[in-house]
């Protein structure tokens, strides 16, 4: 089943919101209010996911959560490789060590010899040249890039060489990857500058 990327993003939000409460049933308009989308959008998304509800009872939350997990996750979870153990990389390791049970950072990689062979937040750091071998050994399916812009493409190339098909890129630079590799760009400064622009415009108005 191929689900559009925007729909996947909303399904992730629905699961997160439902996981915070103790509802037995939920109606599309209730879930829509929580997710800030229309009830029609909720129904359309869940139909795309192959899940339907009842006009009288809405959706059974436990069954819906099971269906969303079936679509979004591998049964055994995902192992990720973090490339870059600087300030941002260290923060990400700390975050994943306590915040996520479906995605685990199984190994970190860096080119700095001073950072290699260390264990940080329960994660061992390897030389980046070991990435292909370690990715196969640890069944890594996701790459996270947290290196400076000038090193990001080399990090992406190493992840692609290792067979990684999904990359989360925190470096503020576009990456060149094969079409079958999904790259999700997280540009914090671009987002902040966008917010700053709209804040400036509102003050001027």
User: 201: which residues sit within 8 A by CB, 6+ positions away?
Assistant: none
pLDDT value at residue 2: 85
Report phi then psi at 199, rounded to 5.
-65, -40
Contacts of 157 (CB under 8 A, 6+ apart): none
Best CA proximity match to 175, nearest among 34, 164, 10, 131: 164
Tokens of 194: 């966008």
Separation CA 143–CA 146 (nearest Å):
10
Angle between helices 28-35 and 39-48 (to 10 degrees): 100
Whole-number pLDDT of residue 74 = 82
Query: What CATH code is assigned to 5-72?
Result: 1.10.10.10
The CATH architecture one would assign to domain 78-190 is: 3-Layer(aba) Sandwich (3.40)
Q: Please give the pLDDT value at position 100.
A: 66
Q: What local confidence, expressed as pLDDT, does residue 102 receive?
A: 81
What is the full per-residue pLDDT of the chain (205 aa) written as tens digits?
A: 689 999 999 999 999 999 988 889 999 999 999 999 999 999 999 999 999 988 889 999 999 999 999 999 888 888 999 999 999 999 999 988 776 678 899 999 999 999 999 998 889 999 999 999 999 999 999 999 999 999 999 999 999 999 999 999 999 999 999 999 999 999 888 889 989 999 988 888 7
- Cβ neighbours, 10 Å, residue 24: 10
Helix (H, G, I), strand (E, B) or coil at 141: strand
Q: What is the pLDDT, as a whole number, of residue 97?
A: 79
101/107 Cα distance (integer angstroms): 16
Q: How many CB atoms lie within 10 A of CB 17?
A: 16
Q: Residue 31 and residue 43: Cα distance in Å, rounded?
A: 10
154-168: pLDDT as tens digits: 999 999 999 999 999
139-152 pLDDT, tens digit each: 999 999 999 999 99
* Domains of the chain by residue range: 5-72, 78-190
Report how far residue 83's alpha carbon sits from residue 111's, in angstroms, rounded to the nearest whole number: 9
Residue 172 half-sphere exposure toward CB, CA atoms < 13 A: 8
């Amino acid at each position: 089943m191929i689900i559009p990327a925007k729909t996947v993003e909303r399904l992730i939000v629905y699961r997160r919101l439902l996981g915070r409460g103790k509802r037995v049933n939920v109606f599309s308009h209730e879930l829509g209010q929580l997710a800030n989308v229309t009830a029609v959008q909720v129904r359309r998304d869940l139909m795309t996911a192959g899940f339907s509800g009842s006009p009288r009872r809405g959706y059974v939350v436990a069954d819906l959560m099971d269906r969303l997990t079936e679509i979004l996750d591998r049964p055994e979870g995902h192992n990720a490789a973090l490339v870059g153990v600087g300030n941002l990389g260290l923060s990400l390791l700390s975050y994943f060590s306590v915040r996520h049970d479906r995605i685990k950072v199984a190994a970190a990689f860096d080119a700095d010899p001073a950072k290699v062979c260390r264990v940080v937040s329960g994660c061992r750091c390897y030389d980046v040249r070991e990435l292909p071998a370690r990715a196969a050994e640890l069944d890594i399916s996701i790459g996270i890039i947290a290196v400076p812009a000038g090193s990001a493409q080399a990090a992406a190339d190493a992840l692609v060489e290792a067979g990684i098909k999904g990359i989360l890129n925190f470096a503020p630079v576009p990456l060149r990857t094969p079409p079958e590799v999904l790259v999700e760009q997280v540009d914090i400064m671009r987002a902040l500058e966008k917010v700053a622009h709209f804040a400036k415009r509102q003050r001027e108005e």
